Chains A and B, each alone.
Chain A
Amino acid sequence: GAGVSQSPRYKVTKRGQDVALRCDPISGHVSLYWYRQALGQGPEFLTYFNYEAQQDKSGLPNDRFSAERPEGSISTLTIQRTEQRDSAMYRCASSPARGHEQYFGPGTRLTVT
């Protein structure tokens, strides 16, 4: 079946612009996670949804970052007023249930100039 998809795959934006990153999880997966990965590092947790409920947003770096999953499927991670330090790979993962293995999408490479 289809895996986790993310769009866009690459995004270049100017400092101060808003960006929206989309994640389409594996069909039927109830849990959805967002991670951020800097070059040469492991992914770091940003936020977690169980169905449509955002159950943990403790990893979001500041209030410029927000996420939603209104219908319990597709999720959007929004970064407002982007800064150069936001440049990274943003990864989405989904899981059939809490605690099970997570399957990652290809990521969105964000570059803020």
Chain B
Amino acid sequence: AQTVTQSQPEMSVQEAETVTLSCTYDTSENNYYLFWYKQPPSRQMILVIRQEAYKQQNATENRFSVNFQKAAKSFSLKISDSQLGDTAMYFCAFIYSGGSNYKLTFGKGTLLTVNP
């Protein structure tokens, strides 16, 4: 079974600064996807970024980028130029792509607060 661990229950950052959220995962599989989802106070679940395990290049989406270290089973999210609207719960998630079930396994989340 796969597990996803987010070791930082809460973090805070000043507006315009950079912050990194940590995520580690445990799997014996080689083919999988990793995701970061954002859950703002509205409690919507918004996909932020996706990484395929077979790709060595780290994914980027505007101010959001990841540091994917496959050997270390680490998948951190970097948010640059933090904005007040980035205040949200962030969830790291894993999908094993080699089987018949593509369920997401989530971490417990990191609550990020961006301060003005």
A64 to B46, CA, bound (A): 30
Contact A101 B102 (CB under 8 A): no
A73 CB–B CB distance under 8 Å: no
Q: How far is the CB of A61 from chain B (nearest CB, A)?
A: 15
Q: Using Cβ atoms and an 8 Å threshold, which residues of chain A touch B103?
A: 33, 45, 48, 56, 59
A89 CB–B CB distance under 8 Å: yes
Contact with A along B21-63 (1 / 0, CB 8 A): 0000000000001010100000111110010000000000000
Q: Using Cβ atoms and an 8 Å threshold, which residues of chain A touch B91?
A: 42-43
Interfacial residues, chain B to chain A (CB-CB below 8 A): 4, 33, 35, 37, 43-47, 50, 91, 93, 95, 97, 100-109
Given contacts A40-B108, A42-B93, A95-B102, 9 further A-B contacts (CB under 8 A): A42-B106, A43-B91, A45-B105, A99-B97, A99-B102, A101-B35, A102-B47, A104-B45, A106-B43
